[in-house]
Amino acid sequence: MLAIMSATQATSPVRSASGAVFLPIQLESLRVDTVTDFELYVQPHAGDAPVLYRGNGLPFTDDVRGRLAENGIECLYILSAEEAAYLRYMESNLAAILTDDHIDKEAKSNILYGSAQNLVKEVMLDPRSGEAIQRSQELVENTVNYLFAEKDAFEHLLKVTSFDYYTYTHSVNVFVFSVSLAQRIGMNDVATLREFGDGTLLHDIGKSMLDPAIINCRGRLTEAQWALMKMHPVYGYEILKDNGKLTDRALDVVRHHHEKIRGGGYPDNLSGAGISSWTRICTICDIFDALTTQRSYKPAMNSFPALRLMKDEMAPDLDPDFFRIFVDMMGNPGGH
């Protein structure tokens, strides 16, 4: 379940006597003159079960919004069963939400993470859908614009990073870390950042082709399973190359994010200058996120022990300059 309110606004999910679960959403996140294809509920008094306020498929007008605001209602509820519809709605209104000064940054971060995770989940279910890949490019564009326009956007995004590992949460984390690190390294052209973002968000799309038993395996993979696991960068590369929307530089990130500077990585056993700077950035962020999130077979590490382990045990595999900048960024996420 995704958090979609900022912590400063009231709110945890509410369960009714019948067992229905309601999730809080922020009034400001609903856009005037859009159709909300999910039901909206209000809570008459604290502690009450939310009651239906508007059915689904109705236009959300200035009048409706005005009436709610007049009554001091800032928080509405949706049914948890309709969370995906709500997140899809957020995704299609993301450009307006991220540039709206009335929505605080914590809420923006939650909305961005929620809709991005929901989208990547859909991409993984149907990786050859051109429509989902197109949507992921729009999401990358909106996120990059936001990271570019708001100096402390990364710091706020970092606060809502999920520490539970799923391929979709991991994809979003690696994308946000990678674009922010690229900015610090000096990639400051929005179009280039978007191109790079497309590759990092979809870097593990090839895992969608693997048996979930391999992805979620609690113990060691067998040799045969490991051989399949090592194919995911190639599967991802092929899916996205066929789709035709990513550039060669972005496709290279997808194919080579498990290569190592000193060699010995997969799938092409590249080394040194054979590995592009874009891929080097993604690799650092990928390893960091894998270490700092919880899996079924291991607890999450905190940031600093994870950075220490990367420095002590993986330094020859990583780009030393980029790694140093990454360590600075995680120590001082608000600074530039």
Please give the residue ranges that form the binding site for Fe ion (CB under 5 A).
204, 286
- Rounded to a whole number of angstroms, the minimum distance from the CB of residue 171 to Fe ion is 7
Q: Which is nearer to Fe ion, 118 or 283 (CB)?
A: 283
Tokens, residue 171:
């994809």
Q: Which is nearer to Fe ion, 111 or 239 (CB)?
A: 239
Query: Do the beta carbons of residue 72 and residue 115 sit within 8 Å?
Result: no
| DSSP conformation class of 220 | P
Distance CA 190, CA 199 (A): 15
- Rounded to a whole number of angstroms, the minimum distance from the CB of residue 2 to Fe ion is 20
Phi, psi for 52 (deg, rounded to 5) = -65, 130
- Rounded to a whole number of angstroms, the minimum distance from the CB of residue 96 to Fe ion is 31
Q: Which is nearer to Fe ion, 204 or 317 (CB)?
A: 204
- Rounded to a whole number of angstroms, the minimum distance from the CB of residue 258 to Fe ion is 6
Q: How many CB atoms lie within 10 A of CB 220?
A: 9
Q: 269 Cβ partners below 8 Å, 6+ apart?
A: 259, 263
- Rounded to a whole number of angstroms, the minimum distance from the CB of residue 285 to Fe ion is 9
Q: Which is nearer to Fe ion, 41 or 322 (CB)?
A: 322
Query: Do the beta carbons of residue 232 and residue 257 sit within 8 Å?
Result: no
Tokens, residue 227:
């051989």
Q: Which is nearer to Fe ion, 148 or 166 (CB)?
A: 166
